[in-house]
Amino acid sequence: MARMPPVPVTALPRVQDRMSFLYLEHCVVHREDGALTARNDQGIIRVPAASLVAVFLGPGTSVSHQAMSLLGECGTTAVWVGERGVRYYAHGRSLATSTRLLVEQAARVSSPQKRLRVAREMYCMRFSGEDVHGLTMQQLRGREGARVRETYRENSRRTGVPWARRDYRPDDFEASDPINQALSAAHAALYGIVHGVIVALGCSPGLGFVHTGHERSFVYDVADLYKAETTIPIAFDVVAESMTDLTGTTRRRVRDKVFELRIIERAVRDIHQLLEVGEADDLSVNVVSLWDYQRRAVAGGANYAEEAGAW
């Protein structure tokens, strides 16, 4: 079978125009031209791969080389998840051929003053109406902890679901109570979506501002911006309604809420704002330059042997 040539990155849908995620389990995943196919004993479904931010591949999933090639070409994040969707194993390539956002991210992470400024901006995005100018990281953590604790209590009062504290073991999902299981499933889905957005924009998932030292630190930073209005109330609602399929219902509601609140578009906008890069800036310029201390960059593909100091 003749293979279709890869679609140019500039012809692919922007990440903010894509659907959040597709969860698959107990099926064979393959490709048919530009579509991702999922087959089981009930039939075959076809999904345009480039229309998704992420594909969650659950237990019992078998994926062909051609399918993974398609996801890579489309910049769609492939997420292998274990039971209850709590593991993350891989991702697709970036939709940005420019490193502009990545360079700005690294510059701010590397400067304590700039990093603190970004952390303050993140706090203001989460909790509007507070003046955090001049607060230290310790003070920000204290305020954030108090606000998040109140968010949990507020949702507990609203739904009648008892709440003690966030308590879970990554290696033993069943050891948690239902509300903590629902929170873990909801957060995992949100992390997958945010990770897909970050990778698609060409940023580093590991260069966080509030979180640090983990390969997904920036994922946790960005996801925290939306938990209070998405995953936390969803988890309490699902437990209050005594759903039998706790994790499946939670994932579907997260997907619906992400669409309703336009979280993908907001994440793109918020990342640009945090890194002070205009959304209108062209991040698809596919040009390789050479770094220069005085001029920042010079054209690549040229011979500079005649420059002063050569040999």
Which residue positions form the known binding site for Mn(2+)? 144, 211, 224
The DSSP element (H or E) to which 56 belongs, if any, is strand 52-57
A 10 A CB-CB count for 67 gives 22
Q: Which residues contact 38 (CB under 8 A, 6 or more apart)?
A: 24, 27, 28, 29, 44, 45, 47
Owner of token pair 């953590």: 141
What is d(CA 61, CA 26) in angstroms, rounded to the nearest whole number?
A: 5
Calpha distance 71→31 (Å, rounded): 9
Secondary structure (3-state) at 102: helix
CB within 8 Å of 33: residues ≥ 6 apart: 4
Annotated binding site: 144, 211, 224
Enter the tokens of residue 96. Answer: 């940005």
Which candidate, 238, 245, 246, 250, places its Cα nearest to that of 188? 250
222-261 as b/e: b if 16+ CB within 10 A: bbbbbbbebbbbbbbbbbbeebeebbbbbbebbbebbeee
Residue 207: other Cβ atoms inside 10 A = 19
Alpha helices, H only, the chain: 65-74, 100-110, 112-126, 137-159, 178-200, 217-223, 231-240, 246-260, 263-274
